[in-house]
Chains A and B, each alone.
Chain A
Amino acid sequence: MPSDTLEAPAAIRELSYAEAAREALAQAMEADERVFLFGEDVGVYGGAFGVSGDLVHRFGTDRVIDTPISELGIAGAAVGAAITGMRPVLEIQFSDFVTLAMEQIVNQAAKIRFMFGGKASVPMVVRLPGGSGTGAAAQHSQSLEAWFAHVPGLKVLQPSTPYDAKGMLLAAIDDPNPVLIFEHKLLYKTKGHVPAEAYRVPIGQAAIRREGADITIVGSSIMALKAQAAAERLAAEGISAEVIDLRSIRPIDFTTIAESVRKTHRLLVVYEGVKTMGIGAEISAMIAESEVFDFLDAPIIRLGGADAPIPYNPVLEKAAVPQEDDIVAAATNLVRRGEA
């Protein structure tokens, strides 16, 4: 919750997304001795994207632990620590490398509670920097969140703002389940209002970033920001777009989406992950299966990533994922189609 004490503009404190996540880690470690961080180069290097920063100096090498390059091993270690009373926070250096750790996350972390009849829980957090736009090409730019959202037992988050980066990470550390947080690499340097206290953003609650009447645009992570920018341009053209930032992919806040569609009668889903079998397909199907379907004045449109690996060439890279222009065009098209 935003702090009441920070209402005066002079008191508004801005942090970058990376700093906000670091502050969450520091506050969680201060509050609870069971919390520890580990991952590749999280110590004196400060994390590949600077999230852990100086934490090793503040908390020592017993609680900020550099690991060998052993993704399967460290994901398994997080599972083992979690089931025996610790609260591990693991950083997978690039989310793409989680492919090496799938066994432990999908077969072990996600299933242990169920397989053991509820007699154990796995309170671990995995942070995964993902997404394209850095010119790092196909093996360092993927958006794999939908893979994990397909696995019962996991929770999957995608904070888009520094405020959520802190509040959702703290909520994830409190959560008794394995939680994966996909952080978009292009967001780490973005700045925003971040209260100093240790607040929580509830898992499973979408945020309405902008209210509107003509169309609902659902996105998450960087796509929620692109959708907001697109909505401003649409407003100049006389189209009133409501923008929903999902924040949580699993569990998903279908209520907020449904209520919005009931109001606007049009739905555009924007996501960076590969379009086919992605988050947009799920949201579209959920609407189609619900009574909200009857409120639609136009077909649902999915705007997802190309069915291709992320290319190296910057022009191609940009073309591979939805951009602000694409959102404006798709929304305009959808509203006009509905009016026709």
Chain B
Amino acid sequence: MSARKTDEIAGAGLKPNQRPELAALDDETVARALTRMHLIRKFEEAAEASYMRGLIHGTMHLSIGQEASAVGTTLPLEAHDYILSTHRGHGHCIARGAEPKLMFAEFFGKETGYCKGRGGSMHIADVEGGNLGANGIVGGGLPIAVGVGMSIKAQKNGRVCMVFFGDGASNEGAFHEALNMASIWKLPVVFVCENNKYGMSMDIGRAMAVANVADRASAYAMPGHCLDGNDLAGVAAVAREAIAQARSGGGPSLIECKTYRWRGHSKSDRNLYRTKEEIEEWRSQDPIRRLEAELKAHDRFDAAALIKLEEDAQREIDSAVEFARTCPDPDPKDLTRDVYAL
């Protein structure tokens, strides 16, 4: 929470040099955003450490460095809105409010996890919380979002569906089919591309004929926004606009967040396709430290308050790991339990 009381902020008015995107976020919102960014970072660091310590098998796709896009885009969503995520989806889950301890339990394959240990890192879903699932198939969620949009429209429930995908997915047919259908039917869908420059090892410059994924929006007659994906406030401002448009019947938008994954594609990645210098260059644009620096510069939070947010997040993640470690494995007799609904 803010080190200063909200009424003092309101009384003081805006600092003249505070940009409107940041000013639009009140202290409570910005603290929530920062907390979630910390939770994502620390969740993934703990996931990586758990892997190294042999606590899990399987693989994982870390989004360290991409926290601002996950949190910024989802910040203006309402509680009943939907998201669909990707194989690199821990961040989207946490940004949407998933409980780290249930996510860790899922990551560890435990019966107490979000998906009772059947889904794992790549399939975490919190259907009741509006998270319709991460996805092991590149672009797999894109057409599903179209159907969610159809459902929202038919049920007239005023919701919005936000679907995440990577730059690589924008080269899949699913992307083009989904954007076209969402646009012709003016569905309440927000397409969010997290462009981290690589589809596994394939540089976007070699994989894509246009410079930006957002350029492709014009082919589907929808707004395309190309953003600095490491700028929380800037991302949130554009997302707010796209969500409002979707909710009011104005149809879908395509948001491209240019960002970077600091880690490899997955645990098998030996990083042969990019340089240390490039990674270092992007690490210097750490979205978390950038936001903190800006908040301090505008005297909205002091250092102690910021440190407390980070420490609280670390504590939550530590206890989440401990919870997951002590949870039971699923019973093999339940192997086929949820193949069919009865």
A and B co-occur in one complex: yes
Name A's B-contacting residues (CB within 8 A): 34, 36, 62, 65, 67-68, 70, 72-86, 88, 103-104, 107-108, 112-121, 123, 152-153, 155, 176-177
State in angstroms the CA–CA spacing of A65 and B132 once bound together: 24
State in angstroms the CA–CA spacing of A220 and B119 once bound together: 35
State in angstroms the CA–CA spacing of A80 and B245 once bound together: 21
Quick check: is B140 within 8 A (CB to CB) of the other chain?
A: yes
A36 x B154 contact (CB < 8 A): yes
State in angstroms the CA–CA spacing of A217 and B115 once bound together: 43
State in angstroms the CA–CA spacing of A313 and B91 once bound together: 57
How many inter-chain contacts with C-beta < 8 Å in the A-B complex? 153
Can you name 28 A-B pairs with beta carbons within 8 Å? A67-B181, A68-B180, A68-B181, A72-B143, A73-B174, A73-B177, A74-B177, A74-B181, A76-B146, A76-B178, A79-B144, A80-B143, A80-B151, A81-B151, A84-B82, A84-B151, A112-B133, A113-B339, A113-B340, A115-B133, A116-B115, A116-B125, A116-B127, A117-B119, A118-B341, A120-B125, A155-B340, A176-B342
A77 x B339 contact (CB < 8 A): no
Name the residue of chain B whose CB is nearest to the CB of A103: B137
Name the residue of chain A whose CB is nearest to the CB of B155: A85
Name the residue of chain A whose CB is nearest to the CB of B184: A68
B174 x A76 contact (CB < 8 A): yes
- Whether A117 touches B113, Cβ cut-off 8 Å, given contacts A76-B142, A80-B148, A84-B132, is yes
- Whether A72 touches B174, Cβ cut-off 8 Å, given contacts A116-B115, A119-B125, is yes
Chain B contacts for A176, CB-based, 8 A:
341-342
Closest 5 CB pairs of A and B: A76-B143, A80-B147, A73-B177, A117-B116, A118-B338
Name the residue of chain A whose CB is nearest to the CB of B130: A84
* B248, chain A: closest CB distance, angstroms: 19
B115 x A119 contact (CB < 8 A): yes
Among B113, B116, B148, which residue has its beta carbon within 8 angstroms of that of A118?
B116
* B332, chain A: closest CB distance, angstroms: 15
Quick check: is B65 within 8 A (CB to CB) of the other chain?
A: no
Chain B contacts for A70, CB-based, 8 A:
177, 180-181
State in angstroms the CA–CA spacing of A80 and B140 once bound together: 11
Chain A contacts for B135, CB-based, 8 A:
108
Name the residue of chain B whose CB is nearest to the CB of A101: B143
Please report which residues of chain B, range 217-270, place their CB below 8 angstroms from some CB of chain A when the two chains form the complex: none
Chain B contacts for A152, CB-based, 8 A:
336, 339
Given contacts A68-B177, A76-B147, 4 further A-B contacts (CB under 8 A): A73-B146, A84-B132, A116-B338, A120-B132
State in angstroms the CA–CA spacing of A68 and B152 once bound together: 20
State in angstroms the CA–CA spacing of A86 and B174 once bound together: 21
Chain B contacts for A112, CB-based, 8 A:
133
Quick check: is B100 within 8 A (CB to CB) of the other chain?
A: no
Interface mask (B144-188 → A, CB under 8 Å = 1, otherwise 0)? 111111111011000001000000000001100110110010000
Quick check: is B117 within 8 A (CB to CB) of the other chain?
A: yes
Chain B contacts for A78, CB-based, 8 A:
147
State in angstroms the CA–CA spacing of A47 and B118 once bound together: 39
B341 x A121 contact (CB < 8 A): yes
B341 x A83 contact (CB < 8 A): no
Chain B contacts for A88, CB-based, 8 A:
147
State in angstroms the CA–CA spacing of A115 and B145 once bound together: 18
Name the residue of chain B whose CB is nearest to the CB of A77: B147
Among B154, B177, B178, which residue has its beta carbon within 8 angstroms of that of A86?
B154
Could you say which of A65, A68, A117 has the most chain B C-beta atoms within 10 Å of its C-beta?
A117
A116 x B151 contact (CB < 8 A): no
* B219, chain A: closest CB distance, angstroms: 13
B117 x A117 contact (CB < 8 A): yes
- Whether A113 touches B341, Cβ cut-off 8 Å, given contacts A84-B152, A118-B116, is yes
Please report which residues of chain B, range 283-342, place their CB below 8 angstroms from some CB of chain A when the two chains form the complex: 336-342
Chain B contacts for A123, CB-based, 8 A:
341
A83 x B174 contact (CB < 8 A): no
Chain A contacts for B152, CB-based, 8 A:
84
Chain A contacts for B117, CB-based, 8 A:
117
Name the residue of chain B whose CB is nearest to the CB of A104: B143
* B339, chain A: closest CB distance, angstroms: 5
Quick check: is B76 within 8 A (CB to CB) of the other chain?
A: no
A108 x B137 contact (CB < 8 A): yes
Quick check: is B87 within 8 A (CB to CB) of the other chain?
A: no
Name the residue of chain A whose CB is nearest to the CB of B106: A117
B118 x A114 contact (CB < 8 A): yes
Chain B contacts for A82, CB-based, 8 A:
147
State in angstroms the CA–CA spacing of A176 and B115 once bound together: 19
- Whether A118 touches B337, Cβ cut-off 8 Å, given contacts A70-B181, A77-B144, A84-B82, is yes
Quick check: is B114 within 8 A (CB to CB) of the other chain?
A: yes
State in angstroms the CA–CA spacing of A113 and B338 once bound together: 6
State in angstroms the CA–CA spacing of A81 and B152 once bound together: 8
Quick check: is B128 within 8 A (CB to CB) of the other chain?
A: yes
B154 x A177 contact (CB < 8 A): no
* B5, chain A: closest CB distance, angstroms: 41
State in angstroms the CA–CA spacing of A114 and B115 once bound together: 8
* A226, chain B: closest CB distance, angstroms: 31
A120 x B127 contact (CB < 8 A): yes
State in angstroms the CA–CA spacing of A76 and B184 once bound together: 16
Among A79, A80, A103, which residue has its beta carbon within 8 angstroms of that of B149?
A80
B136 x A77 contact (CB < 8 A): no
B341 x A107 contact (CB < 8 A): no
